[in-house]
Amino acid sequence: MLQSCTLAPDTLTVIRYTYAWFAEMRSRETTIEYLLSHELTEMLDETGSGNWPTLDISKADFARRTRIFKKRALILMYQLSDCTVGSSDTIVIRQQQSEFLEGLSAEDLAALACMGEVLGHGYTTMTKNVLARHEYRESLLCLHHCEPHRRVFIPDGVR
């Protein structure tokens, strides 16, 4: 069973090989394809130092390998979410996630951890870029004047 991100909240799981399952798979594939080329998942050296080690491969091969890496890591993120289908207790969810992570290879664990770091860095970079442009003054004002539970800034590019 899968956890659905496209169905109504009261229908959280889908059964394999049904229309809902097929729609969920298409939605996930579309989301992954979108994220592969989005700035949220960019993995570039923006320091300009030029001191980073490089692989002795062509840029085209590097781009192909990066795409494969990102896709595998994003699929692993979906699988990590799927392993908790049907659970609502935090302790049970953490146990199921722990069992899933223990079953992964070192390479898959590293990919999952690295993609978490990439997404965090990408979100931070996008937020800094938006704040630097001063285009969203209403959002900035909300950070200071909204109730504490509404003080989350989300750049338009992520919405």
Model pLDDT, residue 16: 83
- The answer to which of 21-30, 65-74, 75-84, 125-134 has the lowest mean pLDDT is 125-134
Q: What is the pLDDT, as a whole number, of residue 52? A: 60
In a 3-state reduction of DSSP, which class is residue 137?
A: helix
pLDDT digits (tens, 9 = 90+) for 108-119: 999 999 999 999
Q: Domain map of the chain by residue range? A: 2-42+58-132
Instruction: Say if residues 31 and 24 touch (Cβ distance below 8 Å).
Output: no
Average pLDDT, integer, range 86-99:
91
Looking at per-residue pLDDT, the higher value among 34 and 159 belongs to: 34
Band (pLDDT 50/70/90 cuts) for residue 43 is: confident
Helix 59-82 to helix 90-102 angle (10° resolution) is 140
